[in-house]
Amino acid sequence: MRIRILSTVAILVFCLFLSDSAFCDELFERAAIRNRIVTLIRGEQFAELEGLCATYRTSKSRTSSGIWHLTVFYSGVSSAFDSSHKEQDFWLKADHSAKKWIANYPNSATPHLAYARMLLNHGWSFRGAGYANTVEPQNWKPFFDYVQQAKGYLEKHKDIASSDPYWYELMAIIAYAQGWPDSEFSKLISEGLQREPVFYQTYFAAIDYYAPKWGGSILAIEQFAREGLEKTRSTEGFAMYARIYWYASQTEFGDRLFSESLVDWAAMKKGIDDVLTRYPDSWNINNFAKFACLSKDKAKTAELIARMNDAPLMAVWGEPLFFQQCRVWASS
C-alpha cells in the first residue's frame, strides 16, 4: 500500500528476475508517473503538470492495484523536492520554482500544495528520517519552523487548495509532526473524509497519527478502521478495512499484525474479497495470500495461492522458504 520511491532502472533490473509482468506493469506505471512529474517540475512545465493533476483529481483514476494516480502524482512532487538535499542552493531554487508555478496558476490547488510539500520537505531535510533521539539538537528549530510555515500557508490558501484531498493529507502530516490533540486532529480528518471519503491517503495519514509507537493505541487504530469501513461500505464494501490494516502492517505491526493488533480477520477477509473483485492484480493477491497465512486461515491461503498464476513475489514474501511453508501447509 505504501508508495515507495523506486527508480525506473531499479525496477527494470528487479523485473528481469520476475515472470510476473502484471506486477512489473504496476511498478513501472508508478515509477513512470513519478519520474515524469520530477522531470516536469525541474523543467518548469507547469501547463502539463496542471493538466495531469486535474485529470487524476477529477477522474479519480487508479493503478492496477487500486492506488490513486493522484497519490502517485504527489509522490512525484515530493521526490522533486527531495528532503535528502542539505545544500541551501537547492532549496532556494526549489522555492523560486514553486512560487513561479503559483504565479502562473494562482487559482489552482496543485501549485499551492506543491509549495507546502516543498516547505515540509525542507523541514525534514534538517530533521532527517530517524527517531527523535538521532536528531541533532540544533536541527529541531528549523524543522518546526518549516512545518509551521507549511501549516500557515495551507490555512491561508485553504479555499483553493482544499478542493484537492491532498490538502488534508498534508495537514494530517503536520498535525502528527506538531502533536495536535485528538479532538483537533479528529475534526481535520472528519472534514477531509466528508469531502472525499475514499481517498486512501487520508486514512493512512490518520493511522500514522494513531500508531502506538507514536503515542497512539491499537484500540484507536481499530476504532478508526471501523469508522472507515462504515463511511465507505456503500461503495467499497469492506475494502477500506482491509487496506487500513494492510497499511498498519507496513508501518506499525509487520508480520505481527494478528498477534499485536485488534484486527478482525473475518472483516479483513471480506475486505480482501472486495478489493480483489475490483483490483485482481498480482501485487494484491500475493499480499493477501500472505495475510491469510499469517492469520492461520488455511482455506483462504490455499484459495489465494491458487490464484497466483506466476512465481510468488519475493518483494511480498521476503524469503522463498516462508512462501513454501505457507503453500505446503495450505495444501495439506
Neighbouring CB atoms inside 10 A of 208's CB total 18
Neighbouring CB atoms inside 10 A of 3's CB total 17
Q: What is the pLDDT of residues 285-317, one digit of tens each?
A: 999 999 999 999 999 999 999 999 888 988 899
CA distances from 172 to 110, 153, 182, 190 (A): 17, 14, 12, 11
* CA angle centred on 227, ends 223 and 228, rounded to 5°: 115
Note the pLDDT of residue 46.
Answer: 98
Q: pTM of this prediction?
A: 0.90
Neighbouring CB atoms inside 10 A of 321's CB total 9
Neighbouring CB atoms inside 10 A of 48's CB total 13
* CA angle centred on 155, ends 172 and 51, rounded to 5°: 85
Q: What is the pLDDT of residues 55-81, one digit of tens each?
A: 999 999 999 999 999 999 999 999 999
Note the pLDDT of residue 24.
Answer: 58
Whole-angstrom distance, CA of residue 255 vs CA of residue 240: 20
Average pLDDT of every residue of the chain: 92
Confidence of residue 205 (pLDDT cuts 50, 70, 90): very high
Q: What is the pLDDT of residues 229-276, one digit of tens each?
A: 999 999 999 999 999 999 999 999 999 999 999 999 999 999 999 999
Q: What is the pLDDT of residues 72-129, one digit of tens each?
A: 999 999 999 999 999 999 999 999 999 999 999 999 999 999 999 999 999 999 998 8
68: β partners: 62
